[in-house]
Amino acid sequence: MKTSYGLYMVMTNPVVGYEACARAAVNCGVPFVQLRMKNASREEIVSNAWKIREITRGTNSLFIVNDDVSIAKEVDADGVHLGQSDMPLDEARKIWDAPGKIFGLSTHSEAQAEAAIAQRPDYIGIGPVFPTPTKAIADPALGIERAGAIAQATPLPHVVLGGLDETNLAEVLKAGAVNYCAVRAIMESSEPEVEIRTLQKIWADCR
């Protein structure tokens, strides 16, 4: 039985602002809220991280910081998400050895997903499914069938991501994805709570 929690929300430049977007996620019971601010100063990331920490504290939404374990530790986030070129997981765990913290890892191929098993992340990201502009140097798109196959093959909890929205989410879920992330669909919406609930209904209908 695959670990199932649905939407993992990554916040990158939300049009409504980070605080309003985080509140929308909490209102909808989104289980994971990640702060991803590429190319921002550390000071700016920490400032936003503290605000999101307060919004999510004591709720059903766990707060994850992208890339930087030192910031995650400083603001007492619930976890950190690391990419393939970031600090190794074992090193991150040594820096932040507090009990119960969550460590996620991005994977972009069958080989990376397989290699992740030995590193014991709490979950892996699988993607991108479709081409996406949210990264300056994008990883090659996996496509629906390949991403679904990786999701089904891994024993680790997973989140499939990359260009997902309400027009293609059902197809991706039917191909094997259990948990998903939709970045632009929510970040570019002036009503993120409406968009989140639309995606959550599609997920629920596909279960």
Residue-wise pLDDT for 165-203, tens only, equals: 999 999 999 999 999 999 999 999 999 999 999 999 999
Query: 0.85 exceeded by the pTM?
Result: yes
Distance, CA of 53 to CA of 188 (rounded, Å) = 22
3-state DSSP call for residue 180?
strand
Q: Helices in 18-162 by DSSP H: which ranges?
A: 18-27, 42-56, 69-74, 89-95, 110-119, 144-153
Distance, CA of 63 to CA of 79 (rounded, Å) = 7
Question: Strands (DSSP E) along the chain, which ranges?
Answer: 8-11, 32-35, 62-66, 79-82, 102-107, 123-126, 158-161, 180-181
pLDDT at 97: 96
CATH class of the domain comprising 8-206: alpha beta
- Encode pLDDT of 49-88 as tens digits: 999 999 999 999 999 999 999 999 999 999 999 999 999 9
